[in-house]
Amino acid sequence: MFPVFDQAHFDHMTAGDRALQAEVAALFRAQADALRTACAGEDWRTTVHTLKGSARGIGLMALAHACEEAEAAGDEAARERVTAALCEALSALVTA
């Protein structure tokens, strides 16, 4: 089982700088909004791959794992799991 949000990883990647974390979280939310629309398109695997890297970088491990599974499976159910994991990840970032 992967944690929705790994705060220790995020702290490590940002040297614990709360202002930087707020900025990175805002950038991720903006990217996620753009990618959510792209995820509905034909080239959704590229979008999911991009989202996976961004999620991993800031400690959204459950989302990164869902993206990895979606890349491998390539079906509609996997894409729906990514959407659900993205909603959960965004919620976790708000509370962090």
Helix boundaries (H) for 1-96: 7-14, 18-38, 44-58, 61-73, 76-95
Q: Which two tokens stand for residue 36?
A: 């959510």
Is the distance from CB of 74 to CB of 48 less than 8 angstroms? no
Q: 6-45 pLDDT, tens per residue?
A: 999 999 999 999 999 999 999 999 988 887 776 666 778 8
pTM here? 0.88
Q: Which two tokens stand for residue 29?
A: 């939310």
Between residues 50 and 37, which one has the greater pLDDT?
50
Give the CATH superfamily of 7-95: HPT domain (1.20.120.160)
List phi, psi (to 5°) of 78.
-65, -40
| Amino acid at position 95, single letter | T
| Dist CA 91 CA 84 (whole Å) | 11
Q: How is the chain split into domains, by residue range?
A: 7-95
